[in-house]
Amino acid sequence: MKHNFGAGPCILPQEVFKQASQGVLNFNDTGLSILEISHRAPEFVAVMDEAISLVKELLNVPEGYSVIFLQGGASLQFTMVAMNLLAEGKKASYLDTGVWSKKAVAEAKLFGEVEVVASSKDKNYSYIPKEYQVAADSEYFHFTSNNTIFGTEFHSFPKVNAPLVCDMSSDIFSKEINVADFDLIYAGAQKNIGPAGATLVIVKDSILGKTGRAIPSMLDYQKQIEAESMYNTPPVFSVFVSMLNLRWLKSKGGVAEIGKENIAKAKALYTEIDRNPLFKGSTAVEDRSNMSVCFVMENPELEKPFLKYAEEKGCIGIKGHRSSGGFRASLYNALPITSVHVLVEAMQEFAEKNA
């Protein structure tokens, strides 16, 4: 049996795979595959409507917000956020906590002044800055809630006097959040939502249309909202599987229940990392991610042998990113705690063999 700790595209529930495969063969008894059905067909329009409805229900999205499914991943949102929110001659504030926030900063600079209010680059992004000021005249403040490469996560969100924009790609739906605290949330699908291809955006309607610039239609949030996520052919299969996955999450008891499971999974793994003399955590304890557990070995020479041993036990995808090294175990929603137990046992057995 394989235990998939991959950072993304990530593990999805087996029952979702089975339902999706049936949809590929014969979608809703139409005699057509979901891969060939028209996105304008009533059957798919119902899929899009349900996917959006489930997002609103599971996250308690308040009135005055729009939910849309787009393409281009979170990386395109780095551009779209600034293009839609940052007026010429104005500035935006960003927090630099890793690779993805750094890329977001680079894209935003194409549209106006960007102030990086704080950065954890000085310690290879192993912590989240706590002391910083956001200028009152900032158009918005942008941060990344979970940093998959370096293993840090916000466990409480910033309180600032500016519209709050968050890249929530890797921990959305993993815990309860108050959407009303944010003005815009975006997330690539390929972590806790569904397969790669779709991008979720939740945006407060009142912040749009204020830049004074002409925005290309495909990159204009307002036009995408008006077109109900169908300005052009949407990523049909990704939206379909995302809908199935959100159904699964709802059947599990929703975000509150899955949040408890995710805390238990992370606690089990961090406990072993801290107990086992061969391993050590690579991030500040107070900022440790429940989604992206990063750790190294006290003796780097043992990293390759352990990686091989873990793979022999069925644990795949735990090799750390090239920027941080060591190991990274991604504990997304669909990963059962039994898989974490297998990894913990592998760590214990390896320590016994290499004491």
Per-residue pLDDT tens over the stretch 287-342: 999 999 999 999 999 999 999 999 999 999 999 988 888 999 999 999 999 999 99
Closest residue by Cα to residue 61 from 205, 197, 159, 268: 205
User: For the chain, which domains are there?
Assistant: 14-251 (3.40.640.10), 254-353 (3.90.1150.10)
Mean of pLDDT over the chain: 97
100, 171, 220, 248: the catalytic one is: 100
Say if residue 39's pLDDT is above 90.
Answer: yes
96, 167, 183, 220: the catalytic one is: 167
pLDDT at 160: 94
- For residue 61, the 8-state DSSP code is P
Look up 100 and say whether it is catalytic: yes
Look up 248 and say whether it is catalytic: no
Q: Which helix (H) or strand (E) holds 166?
A: strand 164-167
pLDDT at 353: 92
Q: What is the mean pLDDT of residues 186-206?
A: 97
Look up 304 and say whether it is catalytic: no
C-alpha span between 80 and 74 (Å, rounded) = 10
Entry pTM: 0.97
pLDDT tens by residue, 41-53: 999 999 999 999 9
Q: Which helix (H) or strand (E) holds 67?
A: strand 65-70
3-state secondary structure of 114: strand
Say if residue 355's pLDDT is above 90.
Answer: no
175, 183, 191, 287: the catalytic one is: 191
pLDDT at 322: 84
pLDDT at 186: 98
pLDDT tens by residue, 80-125: 999 999 998 999 999 999 999 999 999 999 999 999 999 999 999 9
